[in-house]
Structure 1
Amino acid sequence: MMISDRDVLLVIDVQNDFCTGGALAVPGGENVVPAINRIAQKFTNVALTQDWHPADHVSFAPNHRGRQPFQTIELDYGTQVLWPTHCVQGTSGAEFHGDLDVTRASLVVRKGFRRQIDSYSALFENDHKTPTGLLGYLRERELKTVFIAGLALDFCVRFSAEDARKAGFQVAVIEDACRGIDLDGSVAATHRSFRELGISIVSLEAFL
């Protein structure tokens, strides 16, 4: 696959808390790191996202008396999954995985730092209107195609891909450089959404 200077690799939330031993471990999460490192070498433009929550964040189950992780509540912006406390600002769990090569990144987008709203997408928070700043970066740099890898396929990768596609970019998800949580059929729902929106699925092999 030929990569141009109008393409960008968007690496989603490859952080310690989403890897084995972390507070919200995605099964096999750390296995995406070697693939992402190899792919990133092909790109002039690389951006990273980093979940960056305050300890009292509204999405954390322990902040709601009587609630358990993976239950849902209704907030102003819709249904919110309650998660174990994870990626708290300044903790080791919020740091990028130690083997992830971050040297090629020209941008790090921190998301989920507002206490009252969660943020899955790299472009907008979960109200679908509060921007993270990434959309402006993509447009200012006149980038055209967004390749996405990272964690987790069925949440932050999915929402990022959907928002980028709706914003007018070509979008390709590198599925074998992602891992999913699969909560109540969420991986299958992700694949359906990608088909409906015209989001491509590509493999690591295409870059080698």
Structure 2
Amino acid sequence: MTRDLDPFISPHLNSSALLVIDTQRDFADGGSSPIAGTTAVLPAITELLTAYRAARRPIVHVVRLYEGEDVDLVRRSAIEAGAPMARPGAPGSQIVPEFGVSELDPDLLRSGAFQPVTATESILFKPRWSAFHRTALESHLREAEVDTIVLAGCNYPNCPRATVFGASERDLRVLIAADAISGVDARHLDEAGLIGAVHATVGQIVEKLSA
């Protein structure tokens, strides 16, 4: 299912925020749990970040940190057994260096607070798949008068997909940056279209945002 992008993008990019999901070193090539295709989309995500920084629109880097029992059930036994994936404070938990983001403060993030990067850019820890589950993301976006999210990041079938549904449940418009998410294919984009999410390339998004 595809929608005409212009009527969606043009009026709402100026009230949008960029969410970048799980772009941590452990999930890139050479990390403890690499996700296929993640390293390949980092340049496209960097292009989005550059455009959103220039436009002074909100950016939220959403990360996973695995420790203790508060871990998704499917990974809990592996974490309890010592799997090194995105451990708080470990080098692999950090956001990829290409993005130029400061080191994570795991205690602050695990408390539920946003870690500021700049006046318009921040980092948020999510304890489960969706960036909205048990987080203050919705209130953060509402305070910034955001009505649209642009989604980029790692492993679409898991956390980005759950975040699409979480955003739709909160009556936020969703624009998927289709060439800036690893693991996404036409089936996923068609499925997202059934609940009103649309998709575009990074080039289309940057062009509209700059205009």
Question: What TM-score bracket applies, with the shorter chain setting the length?
Answer: 0.7 to 0.9
Equivalent residue in structure 2 for 1:174, among 177, 181, 184: 177
Equivalent residue in structure 2 for 1:48, among 47, 61, 79: 61
| 1:156 match | 159
2:29 counterpart of 1:26? no
Equivalent residue in structure 1 for 2:192, among 171, 178, 194: 194
Once the 2 structures are TM-superposed, how far is the Cα of residue 198 of structure 1 from its aligned partner?
A: 1.1
Once the 2 structures are TM-superposed, how far is the Cα of residue 106 of structure 1 from its aligned partner?
A: 1.9
Once the 2 structures are TM-superposed, how far is the Cα of residue 159 of structure 1 from its aligned partner?
A: 0.7
- Structure (1/2) with the larger strand percentage: 1
Alpha-carbon separation, structure 1, partners of 2:60 and 2:165: 17
Q: Percent identity among equivalent residues?
A: 23
In the alignment, structure 1 segments of 5+ residues that lack a partner are 66-83, 113-118, 125-130
In the alignment, structure 2 segments of 5+ residues that lack a partner are 1-8, 102-116
Alpha-carbon separation, structure 2, partners of 1:90 and 1:147: 28
Alpha-carbon separation, structure 2, partners of 1:194 and 1:202: 13
| Larger CA deviation: 138-147 vs 95-104 | 95-104
Once the 2 structures are TM-superposed, how far is the Cα of residue 87 of structure 1 from its aligned partner?
A: 0.7
Q: 1:60 to 1:21 in 2, by over 3 A?
A: farther
Alpha-carbon separation, structure 1, partners of 2:77 and 2:99: 29
Superposed CA deviations along residues 47-74 of structure 1, whole A, max 9, x for unmatched, are 1111111155452443578xxxxxxxxx
- Calculate the TM-score normalised by the size of structure 2: 0.73
Q: Are the aligned partners of 1:37 and 1:101 in contact in 2 as well (CA < 8 Å)?
A: no
User: Aligned AA for 1:109?
Assistant: L
Equivalent residue in structure 1 for 2:20, among 11, 16, 22: 11
Alpha-carbon separation, structure 2, partners of 1:106 and 1:177: 18
Alignment size in residue pairs: 173
Alpha-carbon separation, structure 1, partners of 2:186 and 2:40: 21
Once the 2 structures are TM-superposed, how far is the Cα of residue 100 of structure 1 from its aligned partner?
A: 1.6
2:164 counterpart of 1:140? no
- Calculate the TM-score normalised by the size of structure 1: 0.74
Q: 1:39 to 1:64 in 2, by over 3 A?
A: closer
- Structure (1/2) with the larger helix percentage: 2
Q: 1:18 to 1:111 in 2, by over 3 A?
A: same
User: Aligned AA for 2:158?
Assistant: F
| 2:95 match | 96
